[in-house]
Amino acid sequence: MVSRVVVGAHYGLRDWLIQRITAVVMALYSVVLAGYLLLQPRLDYDVWTGLFSGQPMRTFTLLFLLSVLYHAWIGIRDIVMDYVKPAGVRLAIHVQVILVSLLYAIWAVQILWGF
């Protein structure tokens, strides 16, 4: 029995798990979408908008994009923690990535429900 003192903010395991769950969501969505598109005999504007006009497709596309953003936030934070040492620069990059991600999420809603 090894007893050790666990220190830290404890977000490591949670983020590790979220990164994998979002990865599975993205992989499933990508494979289904790519398969559907490759099987279409013709792909024009009507087929394309028809695909995205249903509520389920809009919902799953938004779920996919939110997964991308959360997944990317964890990944970029890991990269920044490894290679960017000055605290100020690190904070600036983190804030930028978070703000930009939130804007992308809002933009995605506008795109998906705005046509």
Partner 1 sequence: MNKHRPKHLALHLIKLPLPGFVSVLHRISGLLLFLALPLLLLMLQYSLRSIETYTQLLAVLAHPLAKLMLLGVLWAFLHHFCAGLRYLAIDLDYGVKLAQARASSKAVLAVSLVLTVLLGAKLW
Residues contributing to the site for partner 1 (CB under 8 A): 20, 23-24, 27, 30, 38, 45, 48-49, 52, 68, 72, 75-76, 79, 97, 104, 107-108, 111-112, 114-115
Judge contact between 58 and 52, C-beta under 8 A. yes
Measured from the CB atom, the residue of 88 and 114 that comes closer to partner 1 is: 114
Tokens of 5: 């003192």
**Residue 22, Cβ density class (10 Å: 0-12 exposed, 13-18 middle, ≥19 buried):** buried
Give the nearest distance from C-beta 2 to partner 1 in angstroms: 21
Give the nearest distance from C-beta 115 to partner 1 in angstroms: 5
